[in-house]
Structure 1
Amino acid sequence: MGLLHEFRQFTVRGNALEIGIGMVLGAAFSGFIDSLVTDLLLPPIGLFFSKMNIDNLFISLNGQTFPSLSAAKEAGAATINYGLFFTASVRFIIVLFAVFLVVRQLNRWKKPHQHPLDSMTKKECPYCCMPIPSQAILCPNCSSELTTDHEDRWRRKAPKWKMK
């Protein structure tokens, strides 16, 4: 399974542990990620796009032209700050990817027998084909007696209402 495929699955499913870890990491790395994005990643991108400051990209809604976002804010102009939104989006994706890497590693360290729901695994009843707990010796759906011994499969008893 590829890294990008796992990342996509991580972003789609919702797990309380993963969300909690994400919140803690997001709070802890906020300053670090902010500096990484604004001081290291966005300046080369701004240089690539004609020496502009990405944070300073905005659209003035009143039709006036301002030299910078701070000048527009001082004038009290309503603005759409798409540069700040882009910066926040890059920060979010970096935090999300860092959380994904941590949770991915935690899931690799977790041993399969340590999962609390392992005792609740399901199997299929051979008579009614309904899912039942794997430890069941009596099907709750059709009342068939089930044995756990694979060699005694022929000794299973069908419910009395099925027999004629």
Structure 2
Amino acid sequence: MKKFIAEFKSFAMRGNVIDLAVGVIVGSAFGKIVSSLVTNIIMPPIGLLLGGVKFSSFFINLGDKHVTTLEEAQAANVPVIAYGAFLDTVIEFFIISLAVFVVVKQVNKLKPKSESLPKPRLCPYCKQPIADNAVRCPHCTSMLTEK
């Protein structure tokens, strides 16, 4: 049991696991912020353009009972397709995707550019990489005349 606990501790304390945990927590908080942005700031003007209707309340009634609002349908357990809430979620996804793209693009600009390695010299016969000063290919043992 001690070995198991030691292995788990080693696993849990590696940098990747901790980085992943921090990423999930920050991502969850970021998702809540974007959800609030979509629900409270972006969708009300769109609803206003659509005649003052709350966009997330759009639904299709699948039941026999006549209901006028989504809240009324949910209270009466009437089956509905809540396409307005689905569209809210789709817009939320696109905003999160755009924000992640912008953040990753900015982080990549901050990273130092990796130096490109020179192309290795290849054997003209077997096309395997060889040392620059080699006179014989270590892979196919061909004599190399060019450098």
Which TM class, normalised by the smaller chain length? 0.5 to 0.7
The sequence identity of aligned pairs, in percent, is 33
C-alpha distance in 2 between matches for 1:25 and 1:128: 53
- Summarize deviations over 1:24-66 as a string: whole Å, max 9, x none: 5531212221221111111111111111111101111124431
Per the alignment, do residues 37 and 131 of structure 1 end up closer, same or farther by CA in structure 2, a change over 3 Å counting? Answer: farther
Alignment partner, residue 91 of structure 1: 92
Q: Distance in 1 between matches of 2:58 and 2:108?
A: 41
Alpha carbons 2:60, 2:81 under 8 Å: kept: yes
Pair 1:65 & 2:66 matched: yes
The 3-state SS of whatever aligns with 2:84 is helix
2:60–2:80 CA contact under 8 A, matched in 1: yes
SS in structure 1 of the partner of residue 77 of structure 2: coil
Kept in 1, the 8 Å contact 2:62–2:80? The answer is yes
CA distance in 2, matches of 1:25, 1:145: 59
* Alignment partner of 1:54 is 2:55: yes
Instruction: Give aligned pairs, total.
Output: 124
Written as runs of structure 1 = structure 2, the 5 A alignment for 1:31-50 is 31-50=32-51
Amino acid at match of 2:87: F
Stretches (4+) displaced over 6 A: none
Root mean square deviation, CA, Å: 3.3
Q: Distance in 1 between matches of 2:97 and 2:45?
A: 22
Q: What is the CA–CA distance in structure 2 between the aligned matches of 1:85 and 1:62, rounded to whole Å? A: 19
Mapped partners of 1:63, 1:140: distance in 2: 81
Cα 1:52–1:143, aligned 2, differ >3 Å: closer, same or farther? farther
Say if 1:74 and 1:113 are closer, same or farther in 2 by CA, change over 3 A: same
Amino acid of the structure 1 residue aligned with 2:88: T
Q: Which runs of 5+ in 1 are unaligned?
A: 1-19, 147-153, 157-164
Cα pair distance change 1:131/1:155, threshold 3 Å: closer
Unpaired segments ≥5 residues, structure 2: 1-19
Tell me if the contact between 1:55 and 1:83 (Cα under 8 Å) persists in the aligned partners.
Answer: yes
Pair 143,87 (structure 1): closer, same or farther in 2 beyond 3 Å: farther
Moved more, 93-102 or 30-39: 30-39
State yes or no: 1:79 paired with 2:80. Answer: yes
Structure 1 residues 77 and 127: CA distance shift in structure 2, 3 A: same
Written as runs of structure 1 = structure 2, the 5 A alignment for 1:1-164 is 23=24, 25-113=26-114, 123=120, 125=122, 127-128=124-125, 130=127, 132=129, 136-137=130-131, 142-143=140-141, 155-156=146-147
